[in-house]
A and B are shown apart, each in its own frame.
Chain A
Amino acid sequence: MSAAVPATGMFDCRNAYVETLEALAGEDSRIVAVVNDSIGSSKLGKFHERFPERLINVGIAEQNMVGVGAGLANGGKVPFVSGAACFLTGRALEQIKADCAYSNANVKLCGISSGVAYGELGATHHSIEDLAWLRAMKGLTIIVPSDPWETAEAIRWAAAHQGPVFIRISRMPVPALPRPADARFEIGKAELLRDGGDVAVVTCGTLVHHALAAADILAAEGIEARVLNMATIAPFDVEAVVAAAGTGGIVTAEEHVVRGGLGGAVAECVVAERPVPVRILGFPGFLPTGSAEWLMEQHGLSAAGIAQAARDLVARRG
């Protein structure tokens, strides 16, 4: 498989989200959007124009937004509840738990501008604890798409799936990832983007293209890195991670704190099934102000940072 990240230009995955949602809504009248005064930030302006009756704006009230979403599902709708990920998950966490996950309600929660996309706005607006909070809830499918194609596939899958889903939708520019023409989105399955036997990089979302670039750097040094795109955080592909542990070491990279996210999931799995060293790249905690790119670079969430962590793991093994 090709390791190179092609020069495809950079994309804001919110566009793939809303274009897919509009197309689906055109085919299925059950689909509605629920927002917290977030039509603009969710890029749902065109959806609103096309389907004015099917965009429900509850105003700035996240708890009610998620509860209303659960009620709409009860009334036979397929609600896509869209709001800034930091407020959707933080403010309405108990609604996500009780009304959606525990109730097994058919609600699609779309956390927009997740991670550190709102870098300069500070820690209140960063959504870097959400995976830890949500991953603890049994029954909630969690998807972190890596590019426009995967975002569109995730939205289509969620619309067809009966049950609660959380999708993390970034606004950080990402390239379209290199994939074979017959690539398929499979929920609960890691996507092997590059094979390699010296070390494995397990990643998701905005970090996947950095991981592929890191694999290129490593290959030039004679280190073959396997790259797994873990778009589904729950249910988790234990088998792929156990197989990745067979390389002797795993680096995880995510736009999340280092506790309880993808790295946590990998560590839980590896420690139980096939213990190997795991290096978890992510954020230590509340972050200072700065651009998203700067914040990520500062914490090794870059091609160079991932390559360095992988190099360290391989060197440590001797």
Chain B
Amino acid sequence: MVSRETDTFLSAEQAAHVKERANWIRRQALLMAHRAGQGHPGGDMSAADILATLYFGVMRIDPAVPDAPGRDRFVMSKGHCTGALYSALARAGFFPVEELKTYLQPGSRLNGHPNRTYLPGVETNTGPLGHGLPVAVGIAVAGQIDAADYHVFALTGDGELQEGSMWEAAMFAGHRRLGNLTAIVDRNGLQQGATTEDTNALEPLADKWRAFGWEVAEVDGHDVAALLSVLAIPAVRRARPLCVIARTTKGRGVSFMENQAGWHHGTPSDAQLAQALAELDAELQA
């Protein structure tokens, strides 16, 4: 359980702690995709630092009481990146790390997209895009009505922002001035088939969120110290919801996956897995 008070005192030690876990999440996600013969490794690598920052540096959660009313909530709006999400949940203690080996196996709780009725720590079932942010907004409205002090985080894909329901939710969150809500956009610039800008352009993205009544912060989504400082919640509530546009690289940390749309889906071969793990080892040593 992370104490929010300490979050304002960022230290190199804390960043190192989060970085080690992000590296571990990447390794696990690759092992899971390799073992399962499928997965979404590009997005897993892209989101790993954000997830590690939230689970190991920011959120007040207690895996022993996963449905505690006062818990911070994390909603995985980009529900396909379960390699990274399940690794973060397992490392945080919501279920045994050993269970990651069952990813996508028949009958496993580790479904291709997260299911709250199977797995503690999952707040809502996602997978179809455009669902997580509206649910996160609803949780934040409940917190606002109750003057509760929990915070709601939603991680969205950037391609996902082509779904109209995301903007319905964004508009309403701005209207309600949901200071207890943070949306993080995993802005890796790639969707399944091509770049977002070639498909249905999102830019100027920060302006869009501001126009919908949000504060916007733009950070390097792989700079853990930067993520920690922007996601750690100030003692005084924000007057508006916060959108963190996290500039990321799809496939980050694995040289041959970086910025390759083809690794949205994909399975590393034995040789590719070995190379990827070696690169992640080297990063950890660096």
A318 shortest CB reach to chain B, Å: 52
B107 at the interface (CB under 8 A from A): no
Question: Do A75 and B139 form a contact, CB below 8 Å, given A63-B130, A103-B124?
Answer: yes
A67 touches B145 (CB 8 A): no
Give the size range of B's interface with the partner. 20 to 34
Q: Which of A53, A66, A99 contacts B145 (CB 8 A)?
A: A53
A211 at the interface (CB under 8 A from B): no
Chain B residues with CB below 8 A from A69, complex form: 138
A61 at the interface (CB under 8 A from B): yes
Interface string of B92-134 (1 = CB under 8 A from A): 0000000000000000000000011100000111111011011
CA distance A264 to B239 in the complex (A): 52
Chain B residues with CB below 8 A from A73, complex form: 138
A94 at the interface (CB under 8 A from B): yes
B32 shortest CB reach to chain A, Å: 23
Q: Which of B73, B125, B145, B165 contacts A103 (CB 8 A)?
A: B125
Q: Which of B73, B125, B141 contacts A99 (CB 8 A)?
A: B125
Chain A residues with CB below 8 A from B131, complex form: 67, 94-95, 98-99
Closest B-chain residue to A59, C-beta based? B172
Closest A-chain residue to B126, C-beta based? A98
Chain B residues with CB below 8 A from A53, complex form: 145
A residues 59-115 near B (Cβ < 8 Å) are 59, 61, 63-64, 66-77, 79, 94-95, 98-99, 102-105
A103 touches B172 (CB 8 A): no
Chain A residues with CB below 8 A from B125, complex form: 98-99, 102-103
Main secondary structure of the interface of B (DSSP, over half): helix
Q: Which of B117, B128, B145 contacts A98 (CB 8 A)?
A: B128
Chain B residues with CB below 8 A from A98, complex form: 125-128, 131
B169 at the interface (CB under 8 A from A): yes
CA distance A98 to B146 in the complex (A): 26
Question: Do A64 and B172 form a contact, CB below 8 Å, given A71-B124, A103-B124?
Answer: yes
A71 touches B168 (CB 8 A): no
Chain B residues with CB below 8 A from A142, complex form: none
A199 at the interface (CB under 8 A from B): no
B140 at the interface (CB under 8 A from A): yes
A75 touches B134 (CB 8 A): no
Question: Do A68 and B165 form a contact, CB below 8 Å, given A53-B145, A74-B73, A99-B135?
Answer: no
Interface string of B172-197 (1 = CB under 8 A from A): 10010000000000000000000000
Closest A-chain residue to B140, C-beta based? A71
A71 touches B126 (CB 8 A): no
Question: Do A72 and B141 form a contact, CB below 8 Å, given A67-B131, A98-B126?
Answer: yes
Report which residue of A54, A98, A105 has the largest number of chain B beta carbons within 10 angstroms of its beta carbon: A98
A309 at the interface (CB under 8 A from B): no
Chain A residues with CB below 8 A from B73, complex form: 74
CA distance A59 to B172 in the complex (A): 8
Interface size on A, residues (CB 8 A): 30
B138 touches A54 (CB 8 A): no
Closest B-chain residue to A91, C-beta based? B165
Give residues in A with beta carbon < 8 Å to B.
32, 53-54, 56, 58-59, 61, 63-64, 66-77, 79, 94-95, 98-99, 102-105
Cross-chain pairs A/B with CB under 8 angstroms, 15 sampled? A53-B145, A64-B134, A64-B137, A64-B169, A66-B134, A67-B133, A71-B124, A71-B136, A71-B138, A75-B138, A75-B143, A79-B138, A95-B131, A95-B165, A99-B125
Chain A residues with CB below 8 A from B139, complex form: 71-72, 74-75
Chain A residues with CB below 8 A from B126, complex form: 98
CA distance A71 to B141 in the complex (A): 8
B204 at the interface (CB under 8 A from A): no
B142 at the interface (CB under 8 A from A): yes
Chain A residues with CB below 8 A from B171, complex form: 59, 61
Report which residue of A56, A75, A76, A98 has the largest number of chain B beta carbons within 10 angstroms of its beta carbon: A75
Question: Do A32 and B172 form a contact, CB below 8 Å, given A99-B125, A104-B117?
Answer: no
Q: Which of A58, A74, A105 contacts B172 (CB 8 A)?
A: A58
Known: A54-B145, A74-B139. 4 other contacts (CB 8 A): A71-B135, A79-B138, A95-B131, A102-B117
B123 touches A32 (CB 8 A): no
CA distance A289 to B143 in the complex (A): 45
A76 touches B142 (CB 8 A): yes
Q: Which of A56, A59, A68 contacts B134 (CB 8 A)?
A: A68
Question: Do A61 and B128 form a contact, CB below 8 Å, given A56-B141, A69-B138?
Answer: no
Chain A residues with CB below 8 A from B130, complex form: 63
A99 shortest CB reach to chain B, Å: 6
A197 shortest CB reach to chain B, Å: 44
Chain B residues with CB below 8 A from A68, complex form: 134-135, 137-138, 141, 169, 172
CA distance A58 to B140 in the complex (A): 13
B165 touches A64 (CB 8 A): yes
Chain A residues with CB below 8 A from B135, complex form: 67-68, 70-71, 74, 99
Closest B-chain residue to A92, C-beta based? B165
